[in-house]
């Protein structure tokens, strides 16, 4: 469990000392399952800081809405730190104007998995030391092993530790096994094509084009998304099969070499659509072909930004 007092102390310090003008973290939600991203501007406000496994948003998504001159502090877990690195590489915010408070991550729990078991009327969710999660709901008391509630992206996380934070508060966790991430992709690829396609269509057809996935993703910051274009008309904007499929195909593809496998997209979706199987395919391809993972630092260009004649390519002739 994160040392909340140490986190608060550090956040207060950097505000008091003027290192940053604002610290981005979380506060308790108005409902038990949903803590909210919070923007603390004074040390006093930091008292409201909360940091628990239900904090399901990638805070790096907020970075792009602030002016580049603003000095910003942020609590970051492994994937969030990588997202920040990727954003810094893309010139979205200078690293000097950031202060990252790193927290080694034990995983985000998916509120849906709680509700599946306890019914929707949840009263409280408390993490116990030792890793169990105690849930009180109208249907009774439930205790879960955290591992049973983890969001899928966290179950296959490779880099839980923040790589380039200014300070790390908490014990480093063991790196995850890339084989876990690869297994998901390989297992899916091993299914017959018709099954893969059926799965893809089944997931895409629930889409209501609310773009929660896009807004939750730190790397989707285009002022005009490709779906907003009329000329050329890249994809249909409605809930038609071509539109819904095109949206999912392209949104994931635009993350190639940029996605840090945080899973915020999937967690944001109100229709419970699976989409990390798409981004993980692309992430795995980048690992295999170019030995590249997004956001491991803020200086290495991603594969699509690299021009080289040395590609081991399978192109004809």
One residue of 12, 75, 281, 295 binding another protein per CB under 8 A: 281
Binding of residue 238 to another protein (CB under 8 A): yes
Binding of residue 221 to another protein (CB under 8 A): no
One residue of 29, 43, 131, 152 binding another protein per CB under 8 A: 29
Within 40-59, the residues that bind another protein by CB under 8 A are 56-57
Can you read off the two tokens belonging to residue 243?
A: 């539109």
239-272 in b/e form (b: 16+ CB < 10 A) is eeeebbbbbbeebbebbbbbbbbbbbbbbbbeee
Segment interacting with another protein (CB under 8 A) among 93-101, 125-133, 145-153, 298-306: 298-306
Binding of residue 61 to another protein (CB under 8 A): yes
φ, ψ at 153 (rounded to 5°): -60, -35
Binding of residue 183 to another protein (CB under 8 A): no
Within 106-165, the residues that bind another protein by CB under 8 A are 112, 116, 120-122, 138
Query: Phi-psi region for residue 90, left (φ > 0), alpha (ψ -120 to 50) or beta?
Result: alpha
Rg (CA), the chain: 20
One residue of 148, 189, 297, 301 binding another protein per CB under 8 A: 189
Segment interacting with another protein (CB under 8 A) among 70-78, 80-88, 157-165, 232-240: 232-240
Binding of residue 90 to another protein (CB under 8 A): no
Residues facing 50 on adjacent strands: 26
Lateral strand order in the sheet of 132-137: 122-127, 132-137, 140-145
Binding of residue 306 to another protein (CB under 8 A): yes
Segment interacting with another protein (CB under 8 A) among 7-15, 75-83, 152-160, 299-307: 299-307
Binding of residue 258 to another protein (CB under 8 A): no
98-102 vs 72-76, strand pairing mode: parallel
Angstrom distance (rounded) from CA 58 to CA 196:
29
One residue of 91, 174, 230, 299 binding another protein per CB under 8 A: 230
Q: Which residue from 104, 220, 90 is spatially nearest to 165, judged by alpha carbons?
A: 104
Task: Collect all residues with Cβ–Cβ distance below 8 Å to 218 and sequence separation of at least 6.
Answer: 58, 60, 61, 63, 64, 80, 83, 84, 86, 87, 262, 264
- Which residue, chain included where needed, has tokens 């603390």? 40
Within 199-218, the residues that bind another protein by CB under 8 A are 200-201, 205-206, 208-212, 214-216
Q: How far does CA 150 lie from the centroid of its chain? A: 13
Binding of residue 276 to another protein (CB under 8 A): no
Is 50 in a helix, a strand, or coil?
A: strand
Binding of residue 234 to another protein (CB under 8 A): yes
Residue 178 or 303: the one with the smaller Cβ distance to another protein is 303
One residue of 72, 125, 181, 282 binding another protein per CB under 8 A: 282
One residue of 76, 84, 157, 278 binding another protein per CB under 8 A: 278
Is 250 in a helix, a strand, or coil?
A: helix
């Amino acid at each position: 469990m994160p040392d909340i007092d140490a986190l608060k102390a550090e956040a207060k310090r950097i505000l008091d000392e003027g290192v940053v003008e604002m610290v981005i973290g979380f506060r308790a939600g108005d409902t038990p399952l949903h803590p909210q991203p919070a923007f603390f501007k004074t040390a006093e406000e930091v008292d409201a800081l909360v940091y628990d496994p239900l904090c399901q948003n990638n805070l790096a998504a907020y970075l792009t809405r602030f002016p580049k001159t603003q000095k910003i502090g942020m609590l970051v877990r492994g994937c969030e730190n990588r997202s920040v690195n990727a954003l810094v590489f893309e010139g979205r915010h200078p690293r000097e104007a950031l202060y990252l408070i790193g927290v080694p991550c034990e995983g985000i729990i998916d509120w849906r998995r709680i509700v599946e078991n306890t019914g929707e009327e949840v009263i409280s969710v408390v993490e116990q030391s030792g890793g169990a999660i105690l849930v009180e709901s109208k249907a009774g008391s439930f205790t879960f092993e955290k591992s049973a509630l983890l969001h899928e992206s966290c179950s296959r996380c490779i880099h839980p530790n923040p790589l380039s934070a200014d300070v790390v508060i908490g014990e480093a966790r063991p790196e995850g096994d890339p084989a876990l991430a690869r297994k998901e992709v390989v297992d899916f690829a091993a299914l017959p094509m018709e099954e893969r396609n059926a799965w893809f269509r089944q997931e895409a057809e629930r889409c209501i084009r609310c773009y929660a996935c896009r807004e939750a993703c730190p790397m989707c910051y285009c002022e005009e998304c490709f779906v907003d274009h009329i000329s050329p008309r890249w994809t249909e904007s409605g809930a038609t099969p071509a539109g819904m499929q095109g949206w999912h195909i392209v949104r994931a593809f635009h993350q190639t070499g940029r996605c840090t496998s945080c899973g915020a997209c999937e967690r944001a979706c109100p229709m419970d659509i699976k989409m990390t199987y798409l981004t993980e395919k692309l992430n795995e391809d980048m690992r295999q072909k170019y030995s590249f993972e997004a956001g491991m630092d803020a200086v290495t260009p991603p594969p699509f930004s690299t021009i080289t004649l040395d590609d081991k390519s399978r192109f004809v002739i």
